Structure formats: C-alpha cells, structure tokens
Amino acid sequence: MTLLSVNLNKIAVLRNSRGGHEPDICRAAQTCIESGCGGITVHPRPDLRHVRPDDVRALAAMLRGRVEYNIEGNPFAAPRGAYPGLLALAREVRPTQVTLVPDSDGQITSDHGFDLSRDLDRLRPLVDELAAIGCRVSLFVDAGSQDFAAAKAIGVKRIEIYTGPYAEAFAEGEPDAALASCAATARQAQQAGLAVNAGHDLSQANLGTFKAAIPGLAEVSIGHALIGEALYEGLATTVRNYLQILR
C-alpha cells in the first residue's frame, strides 16, 4: 500500500491569518493519524508564512514512534530570525525523512525540482549529514529527470516526483503525456535502486489514475487538495451541528 503523508501547511496558514492557536496543528495531525494516514509532512520556510519551527518541534514530540515524519525544505536557504535552517531543524527533531526542495523565498509553492546533473555535487555533503543523523533523504525532481544512479551513489534513498504538470494536464482532460513522463521517471529511478514518492496538486480526482500508472509508488504527500476537500466535506456536518444547538 502506498503511504499517505498529509501536508499540514494549510492548517498553519489558517491559524496564522487570525493569530492565536486555532486551528491547532497538532490536533489536526492527531485527526489524520486516527483516520489512518501513515505520515505527516510539513514544509517550513524562512518567512514563517505557514509552518513555523515551533510547529516542527511540537509535531516531532507527538509523532515520534507513531507515524512517519517528513520535513521538506530548501537546504540552502540561510537561517534568519526564528528560522534556524532546514538542517538545523533536522538535527534537532530527527524526522523520518527530509525531502530536499529547491524553492526560493519568493515562491508561493514549490514549482520545480532539482537538476540532478548540476546539483548533486553541492547536495552531497548535505545528504551525508542527514544520513548521519538517521534521516532518509528524498530529492524533489521534475518528471523527465535522469542521473538517478548518481543520486543513489551519494546516499539519496528516494525521489519525489513533482506532479504539478500532471495535475494540470489531468484537469484539462489531457493527462496522457504528463502521466507517461512521470511513469518513465519512476521506472528509471526504481531501476537505479531509489524508491519513488510523489506530490503536488494530487487530489481524489487524479490520484487513482496516477497510482495505477506507477507500480511500487512508495508515498504521496498531499496537503492543499486534501485540506480543501476536507473543508467542503466537513462543512455540512458542522453546520448541522450548529443548527442542532440553536434549535
């Protein structure tokens, strides 16, 4: 079975928009765990616009020994203010997996992966350090990437295929080419000895088609669509509960 890791960034966005502690990110994680998910994902950024370092620490304390913990981020983003840097956070909380993503500070969301032919040399010491503290390392890559044997050689254990273009093509009714590219990339990575994760804009609508095309898919990380779908699906029940109180 492919592991579902729920990305909780959007819970933090909603909390931060109002201030205070609600909705509580640890309560959200607990709800996901009780519902059967196998992992929790967060992507702290230096500007603290959603998940913050204190959230990373609080989740680590509650998740340890229960489900997998995946922290995403740019390992080259400099520490600033309350943000100590991705590697410093990893050293402190020892997550199951660290997914390295080449996003810049100004990006609204991740929109591309590493260029393995260019970036592996500078990633090597970071992969070594993360492996030394017991973290599995995954690299965020675009469909069509290559050089997976070289990634394996520096200690990378997994790739995460950026599925944004597939999701966009699926919504437009023409997913075949993007799906084929993802499937070919997954096969090449697996042949090199890497496990394959996937994430970005996967949803209830497009996930089944994607999973069927990727035998051995290890993990999907889903947040934006999942939180939105949960909002719509839960609103009716919550509104009825309020109406019952008001009768």
**Residues with catalytic function:** 43, 72, 200
Tell me the two tokens of residue 37.
Answer: 């998910």
| H-only helix segments in 38-175 | 53-63, 86-93, 116-132, 148-153, 164-171
Report the alpha-carbon distance of residue 195 to residue 235 in Å, rounded.
37
Please report how many Cα atoms fall inside a 13 Å half-sphere around the Cα of residue 103, on the Cβ side.
20
Report the alpha-carbon distance of residue 85 to residue 77 in Å, rounded.
7
Q: Return the closest-CA partner of residue 217 out of 144, 166, 158, 175.
A: 158
Report the alpha-carbon distance of residue 110 to residue 162 in Å, rounded.
9
Report the alpha-carbon distance of residue 150 to residue 106 in Å, rounded.
30
- The 8-class DSSP code of residue 35 comes to T
Burial pattern 62-73, b for ≥16 Cβ within 10 A else e, equals bbeeebbbbbbb
Positive or negative torsion for Cα 201, 207, 213, 218: positive
